[in-house]
Chains A and B, each alone.
Chain A
Amino acid sequence: EMQLVESGGGVVQPGRSLRLSCAASGFTFENHAMHWVRQAPGKGLEWVSGLTWNSVFIAYADSVKGRFTVSRDNAKNSLYLQMDSLRPEDTALYYCVKTFGDRTFDVWGQGTLVTVSA
């Protein structure tokens, strides 16, 4: 069974940093582009960032560009999101997502909650 398990969420003060991790299992991780998608409380889904299987192509939403850094370790079947200069509006449930054909999000984790508050 394909599975994604996020970790690393928590409560952090504005301006501080947090690193999210995602452990993948049940599929060949190195063959697939991976992404992060978030959902703020009471809001809809928002694409955050993604990268290709070999990390050659990386993209970010305008709302996080310059503050967040996505990376992956194919040897460890893991995806990461380094979040710096956090803002209250970054408060959200962050999902790790696998792609199918690089254009479709086909497997989602359960999410890890990030709360940015003084």
Chain B
Amino acid sequence: QSALTQPPSASGSPGQSVTISCTGTSDDFGTYNYVSWYQHHPGKGPKLLIYGVNKRPSGVPSRFSGSKSGNTASLTVSGLQAEDEADYYCSSYADSRNFVFGSGTKVTVL
């Protein structure tokens, strides 16, 4: 149950886009498309941004989008805003009711 691999950091100026990758093995992702992304501000509980690879829950802005190709999932934040500065985690349902998280990426808005 090793963590999925994410870059430790990413940054962009307001209005720019940033893409975060999340790489695992075929065992991590399996044949499922249960990849989720979470935004975590310090002192708060994480917030669901994307589920099922590319679906957005109600209330999440459309500038957050997800995709997956092979064993790499990606989160793109378009039109960066100051409030987007946070830690971001991917997660996948592995199998046998087990879940695995990514190592986390700190996004800085310059």
Contacts and interface: CB of A to CB of B under 8 A. Distances in A.
Interface of A: 4, 35, 37, 44-47, 50, 52, 57-59, 61-63, 95, 100-101, 103-106, 108-111
A111 B45 CA distance: 7
A104 B45 contact: no
Nearest to A39: B40
Chain A residues touching B, majority SS = strand
Interface of B: 1, 3, 32, 34, 36, 38, 40, 44-48, 51-52, 57, 87, 89, 91, 93, 96-104
B89 A106 contact: no
Contacts of B34: 103-104
Given A103-B93, A105-B36, A95 B98 contact: no
A103 B95 CA distance: 10
A58 B101 CA distance: 18
A44 B45 contact: no
A100 B48 CA distance: 11
B51 A104 contact: yes
A21 B65 CA distance: 34
A36 to B, nearest CB: 11
17 contacts: A44-B3, A44-B87, A44-B89, A45-B38, A45-B40, A45-B101, A46-B3, A46-B101, A47-B98, A50-B99, A59-B97, A61-B98, A95-B45, A103-B32, A104-B52, A105-B91, A108-B47
Contacts of A46: 3, 101
